[in-house]
Amino acid sequence: MADQNLPTPGAYVDDNLVTLYGDTIDQLISDFGRNVIFYLPPSESGCPNCEQGFDGSSQGVPASNPFPLGSPFNKTFPTGGLCPVCQGTHKILVPVTQTYKSSIQRTPKDFEYTQYGIDFDPGNVVKLKNKMVTFEDIKIAEKALIDGDLYTRIRYPIKTGLRDLRYVQSFWMRINK
Ligand SMILES: [Zn+2]
């Protein structure tokens, strides 16, 4: 039902223009965006580096370890010894990452820098814009690698768009110096 307080929709901005606007922003992210690696919460997995007996002692290194020798998840050790990867727990945390093409804006104007104190460097803040399909990942991502620097997410991401919510805005602060 139409909102009685507003004029009829579509007088200036018709559906074609809304579609064109959305497609243009998509294209800008695609053409000018850069790949950002988002670090999601790690997932727990059985240790690939050891077989473990009922008594909890390590039985040796399985031949099926999918990780190459020398990686943090593939370290040789003597049978009966403590597995250096899982310390005998047979559980490891596997890093989970997602890479998304992102529009990267440095020192964004729409950010309350003052709440971080007078000495806060606005040059450490970055705003990212991504397509809406990334929302579920970005809202649980705690860190991101942006142009080679490590950032932490400052606040919960915001959904934005003209009429339709098509984008995710998120603010990040550099944590490596
Ligand atoms: Zn292990």
44-61: pLDDT as tens digits: 988 888 887 666 667 667
Q: Which amino acid is at 51?
A: E
CA distance 36 to 96: 14
- CA 99, 102, 108, 109 torsion: positive or negative? negative
**Per CATH, the architecture of 14-41+96-174 is what?**
Beta Barrel (2.40)
122-132: pLDDT as tens digits: 999 999 999 99
Across-strand partners of 91?
46
What separation in Å is there between the alpha carbon of 84 and the centre of ligand 1?
A: 7
Domain ranges of the chain: 14-41+96-174, 48-89
* Other C-beta atoms lying within 10 Å of the C-beta of residue 28: 12
What separation in Å is there between the alpha carbon of 119 and the centre of ligand 1?
A: 46
The mean predicted confidence, pLDDT, of the chain is 88
What separation in Å is there between the alpha carbon of 72 and the centre of ligand 1?
A: 11
Whole-model pTM: value is 0.77
